[in-house]
Copies of this chain bind each other. A is one copy, B any other.
Amino acid sequence: MAVDEIYYTGVRSVARRLTDGLEPEDMTVQVMSDASPTKWHLAHTTWFFEQFILRQFVDGYKPYDDIFLYLFNSYYNRVGTQFPRAQRGLITRPTTAEVFAYREHVDRYMCELLHHEPISKVVQLTEIGLHHEQQHQELILTDLLALLAINPMYPEYRPAKPVKPSSAPAMGWSAITAGEYKVGCSDEHFAYDNERPSHRLVMNRDCLLATRPVTVGEYLEFMTDAGYARPELWLSEGWNMVQERKLVAPRYWEKEGDLWRVFTLSGRRPIDEHEPVCHVSYFEADAYARWAGYRLPTEFEWEIKARDTPIEGNFMDSERYHPIPAPADSSSDCFAALFGDVWEWTQSSYQAYPGFRSTDDALGEYNGKFMCNQYVLRGGSCLTSRLHMRSTYRNFWPAYTRFQMTGIRLAKDG
């Protein structure tokens, strides 16, 4: 994909479309410290272009507002201090309208810059900036879901689109043969630093990867079998979390009488047993797998299968904003929802690949400094832009995370 003015505008305009129908109130509030206001996301990705491109490569460029450099820096210590993360929702000025004006200003400069055959460093940074923009577009949706879910009026963000009724197909298993493999990104295309260098590894034994994610119906069986009440199924830290937070179901589920309901971006409705289960933590994914007699895959088992699978599925682009049932004809040679629908927890800690080096500039802070106490997720979700995804892509979240669109794919030894 050529990184030009048109591509830039296309990616950036998605954010605007996502805010259709949102009120300034909706875009201002920070629902919890792990989330950010929509307004902040909109401003922060703009700051990224201003800070790392316009200020470096446009002669005489003056910051739009000096205080924005402080307010909308997320965590880049090398370029300055940051407004406290947990207080992002207390900033009522600039208003939402002013943030949109800031976006327009920066977009105008960026388009001008991209219009005139920019140097390769600019192209490269723009590509990072657009991927960064896409990450935050996904976060706008996950954070909005968490926010609306608090409201006893159950506001609907988008009306639900009709889904073709479908029973999930039987679980199939796709084999991986023991042996040496190459993983990570080796080609010329864009990838984050954490996907490189490409390297070899040994799969010590044959194993199999499930052809579809675990469904809501299957997860319900785990719940019915007292899954949340049996410590032997859980990692020690997960068991502590279950007890402290009194967890009994995935996030956004609520029981009324005998009926489980789930809150989605299309409001509240009964759960659908055929959908992939989502909004589970690593701990729940791991406990479910243990209960079912399987395990979670490593990130490399996943990647080995994914690199031969087309990047198709239920992405943000379909504007459903919720996982959908797998088509009934998935089979052992045909993965359902390996991409899209739900991010899939792997049992791999988020660590550096052998020979990994952060770059020495401020962007070196992008990924490396988070390589601690997080788990790798793969495949993207129904809230991810399809163009953002690739088979080597490594997402990462702490094991307790439930507000992301996270689900479960199983594996087992051969």
Contact = CB atoms under 8 A, between A and B. Distances in A.
Among A148, A348, A372: residue with most chain B CB under 10 A: A372
A150 interface: yes
Contacts of A352: 347
A201 interface: yes
Interface residues of A, number: 66
Contacts of A273: none
Contacts of A101: none
A contacts with B: majority SS: mixed
A25 interface: yes
Given A150-B87, A200-B202, A355-B205, A235 B28 contact: no
Given A95-B23, A355-B413, A370 B236 contact: yes
A147 B92 contact: yes
Given A28-B28, A29-B92, A92-B25, A77 B347 contact: no
A178 to B, nearest CB: 9
Contacts of A95: 23, 25
Nearest to A360: B232
Contacts of A60: none
A214 interface: no
Contact of A202 (B91, B201, B205): B201
Contacts of A354: 203-205
Contacts of A201: 201-202
Given A92-B147, A347-B352, A349-B351, 13 more contacts: A23-B93, A23-B95, A24-B24, A78-B231, A92-B155, A202-B202, A205-B355, A232-B365, A235-B371, A235-B372, A239-B369, A282-B372, A349-B349
